[in-house]
Amino acid sequence: MDNNIIDNKKERLSFFDFLATIKWLFIFNFKLAPWAATAQIVIKLILNTSPLFSAYIFARLLDKIIQIVSMPNSNINQIIPLLGLLLLYNLVISALGYVNSYVSQVIGLMSGYRVPVILAQHINSLGIQTLENPDVANKIQRARETIGGISNDFERTLMFFARGVALISALFVIVKIR
């Protein structure tokens, strides 16, 4: 059992190998569908930072309502532009969610179609003697089993970075308020 744990530690990626893999994943997806990968990055960033903007618009709306209520001759129609802005913002965010789903499907379809072709071309370029090596055959089999999830890996990596940007933005807002 201890040998198994030691073997697992040998197979783990170093941090720099992990970063190199992420870089390869991004480059690969940009080569598969450049517009879709770019759109997905931008949309994920917007969607993950949208709660900050929504909170800002809502805070402005509350400030305006408090200002209107505290004035003696107040006109409730003064909050209509802010309500319209909040409605428009929520509609745009909903539309971006649908566009994100579409772009995610495009990347999934592109990777589902093109990734096995690229893998087959690479296997074909190895030559018959290399393919007879049991270690190479094992790696090819593992690649075939896991290559289908490449678009999901890209999406999860994007989500991780987008949430990091949202966290840093929220921290910046909190520090700025203080």
Model confidence pLDDT, tens digit, residues 25-47: 999 999 988 999 999 999 999 99
Q: What pLDDT band is residue 23 in, cutting at 50, 70 and 90?
A: very high
Task: Assign 3-state DSSP to the chain and report helix, strand, coil percentages, each to 5.
Answer: 90, 0, 10
Residue spans of alpha helices (H) in the chain: 2-11, 15-32, 34-70, 80-126, 128-131, 134-146, 150-177
What pLDDT is recorded for position 8? 54
pLDDT cut 70: percent of the chain above it:
94
Please state, as a whole number, how many other Cβ atoms lie within 10 Å of the Cβ of residue 109. Answer: 14
pLDDT at 94 > cutoff 90: yes
pLDDT at 107 > cutoff 80: yes
Three-state DSSP class for 178? coil
**Looking at beta carbons, which pairs linking 105-109 to residues 24 or more positions away fall under 8 Å?**
106/33, 106/36, 107/29, 107/32, 107/33, 107/36, 107/37, 107/40, 107/151, 107/154, 107/155, 108/151, 108/152
What pLDDT is recorded for position 124? 86
What pLDDT is recorded for position 13? 79
Q: Specify the DSSP element, H or E, that contains 156.
A: helix 150-177
pLDDT cut 90: percent of the chain above it:
35
**Looking at beta carbons, which pairs linking 137-143 to residues 24 or more positions away fall under 8 Å?**
143/119
| Selection from 99, 108, 87, 90 nearest residue 43 by Cα | 99
